[in-house]
A and B are shown apart, each in its own frame.
Chain A
Amino acid sequence: MAYSDKVMDHYSNPRNVGSLNKADSHVGTGMVGAPACGDVMKLQIQVSDTGVIEDAKFKTFGCGSAIASSSLATEMLKGKTLDQATEIKNSDIAEELALPPVKIHCSVLAEDAIKAAIDDYKSKQGA
């Protein structure tokens, strides 16, 4: 299957790969996976006291589309407020990367990871 230029760009030159300190109260960690294909995705956000996402990192074990989806997700997250970040939909990612129908689930995984990271951050703040 041929990947789109945008997928290839993110795949060969992924943005924001790495880890943030999981124990930091400003950091939210989202870990999601798809058992059928064995993909695992970790996405982390660092949130300022004013509720703005200052940094985002990811690490994904999976196909090119899964890596590109999470790479793009971290780019989209930076600079957004938590409320704006909640608005990011998998279709935004799929459209931007021109994902074929069989790879839409990769963008769904990225959306789930964003939501999981935000939830984790919020539960840390509430605790």
Chain B
Amino acid sequence: MRLAVVNLDRCIGCESCVLACSRTWYHAFSYDLSRIQIRTAGGIEGRFVVAVCRACSDPPCARSCRTGALTPRKGGGVILKPELCDSCGLCQKSCIIQGAVRYDDSGKPLICKHCGICAKYCPHEVIKLEKIKEPEEVEVEPKEV
């Protein structure tokens, strides 16, 4: 299972998801100790942005990791072995979603486990846990002229 942002336009910016993540995984009231982030682009009159791991099938963050701390997780996303992480920062740089990979105070990445606790507290089904589809093999066949 992986998290998917399915109804972004419904987001009201209440940050109940952020608080659920920090409460559940870090026992904290925190914005930063959360693996999901909500912010605005263009202020409240603009749009909300949900920054969370997309559970890529072949995650660029894991590819960028030179120490083997990040390895692909079955069903998408990555698993962190913190003892192998040397806090080089490459995983953050490799992710195209700004804010999806961030670090705790010790410099280790906060890795989303796709547990779905954030989706449980979303009042409008902006985020959902869903089964990841294996990417289909892309077959390129020569077209007959």
**Chains A and B form a bound pair:** no
